[in-house]
Amino acid sequence: MGKHLTGGQSEKELAPLIGERVSVRLYEDGGGYRDILGKLESFHTIRKKDGSTVEFNPAKISALRVVLNAEFRAGTGAPLSLRILDLEIAAAKTWPSGSLEVFGKWQIRISNGFSFRANSVLPTGMAPYGEPPFEISKSVNYVISKYDEKKLDPIFHISLPIHQELDDYLSQNGWESLYEILVMVGDTRELSLKAPTGEVIESRRLTESWLDLQGDRSVNEILEGYPSKFIELNIDRKTVAVGRLSIAEGWGILTRIYVAENLRRSGFGIEIVSALARSAEAAGCNKL
């Protein structure tokens, strides 16, 4: 199953598909169509299997389909440490920072508003330290200086176990762990999804009802900074649960899942997650 798009595509719509294997049908100027199959490398280039690069005009797209590997399942594949890192990188794409500095293979992320993910360093390279451009002490000092310039506390977002040595280095030098992030993964083909007891509403933009329930407007710019679906569950015309779905690197990233405080432990959490999973599946994404 793959994600299908029709009509000319904007850069924002193509952004989450960069790196994916796609089949693109283009309108020809003289009439008819032309098909291209390969890896989408930019908003206007595709690399074919033979290594050659083909340029195209996104406005000429008639249809686009993401070609997914049928065996691409959550919880399988590469060694666990690499899968965790891949998932962190995918999640970071869906939570864009106001500014991003690529420092070796460290991503220095700085944003307005309160968000640890958007105001932290994400090492994306291999062990032991995520491949910064300099030796570790010089690299960490550079990070500190960048956040000092913005009057922010320097924070590292560390993927374990692959960057355990970086975690140890920071701990030995007086850094403290603020909290641990627990991430659950699942495959829509293996999950027991619950049918909604109310109306499921999907939007490409934030709505007042969605925002009112989750209560935090400080990260609105981040939430809409990456193509996403904002999904809500309504019972008797009242929003009882919400969530956000963003697709990157073959993963459906679920964030901002909330249930109305007075209605918790009523099964609406399962219902909104099920709705998010179905929406991902409809877009050709099975890994959550």
List, for residues 199-209, the tens digit of each pLDDT value: 999 999 999 99
- The mean per-residue pLDDT over the stretch 69-79 comes to 57
Q: Are residues 234 and 275 in the same domain?
A: yes
Q: Are residues 58 and 84 in the same domain?
A: no
Q: Are residues 106 and 163 in the same domain?
A: yes
Whether 40 maps to a domain, the answer reads: yes
**Whole-number mean pLDDT of the chain?**
88
Whether 10 maps to a domain, the answer reads: yes
Whether 194 maps to a domain, the answer reads: no
Min mean pLDDT across 3-12, 73-82, 136-145, 149-158 is at 3-12
Bigger pLDDT: 45 vs 134:
134
Q: Is the pLDDT at 7 greater than 80, yes or no?
A: no
- The mean per-residue pLDDT over the stretch 93-121 comes to 91
Q: Is the pLDDT at 179 greater than 60, yes or no?
A: yes
Q: Point out the domain boundary residue: 153, 172, 191.
A: 172
Measured CA to CA in angstroms, residue 190 lies from 39, 70, 75, 287 at distances of 28, 14, 11, 10
Whether 143 maps to a domain, the answer reads: yes
Share of the chain above pLDDT 90, in %: 58
What is the CATH number for 257?
A: 3.40.630.30
C-alpha span between 228 and 222 (Å, rounded): 11
Q: Would you state the pLDDT for residue 77?
A: 55
Whether 184 maps to a domain, the answer reads: no
Q: How many domains does one find in the chain? A: 3
Q: Are residues 38 and 116 in the same domain?
A: no
Contacts of 118-125 with C-beta under 8 Å, sequence gap 24+, read: 118/219, 118/222, 119/147, 119/152, 119/155, 120/155, 120/156, 120/157, 121/154, 121/155, 121/156, 121/157, 122/88, 122/89, 122/92, 122/157, 123/156, 123/158, 123/159, 123/163, 123/166, 124/85, 124/88, 124/89
Q: Would you state the pLDDT for residue 14?
A: 80
Q: Is the pLDDT at 11 greater than 70, yes or no?
A: no
Q: Are residues 61 and 99 in the same domain?
A: no
Q: Would you state the pLDDT for residue 78?
A: 55
Instruction: DSSP letter for 284, please.
Output: T
Whether 178 maps to a domain, the answer reads: no
C-alpha span between 208 and 82 (Å, rounded): 39
Q: Are residues 211 and 141 in the same domain?
A: no
Q: Is the pLDDT at 96 greater than 70, yes or no?
A: yes
Q: Would you state the pLDDT for residue 79?
A: 64
Q: Would you state the pLDDT for residue 17?
A: 82
Q: Would you state the pLDDT for residue 169?
A: 97
Q: Is the pLDDT at 9 greater than 80, yes or no?
A: no
Q: Are residues 166 and 85 in the same domain?
A: yes
Whether 108 maps to a domain, the answer reads: yes
Q: Amino acid letter at 9?
A: Q
Expressed as residue numbers, the domain containing 62 is: 4-66
Q: Are residues 154 and 128 in the same domain?
A: yes
What is the CATH number for 21?
A: 2.30.30
Q: Is the pLDDT at 113 greater than 90, yes or no?
A: no
Share of the chain above pLDDT 70, in %: 91
Q: Are residues 224 and 258 in the same domain?
A: yes
Q: Are residues 217 and 270 in the same domain?
A: yes
Whether 185 maps to a domain, the answer reads: no
Q: Are residues 55 and 129 in the same domain?
A: no
Min mean pLDDT across 71-80, 182-191, 224-233, 241-250 is at 71-80
Q: Are residues 104 and 143 in the same domain?
A: yes
Q: Is the pLDDT at 39 greater than 90, yes or no?
A: no
Q: Would you state the pLDDT for residue 82?
A: 76
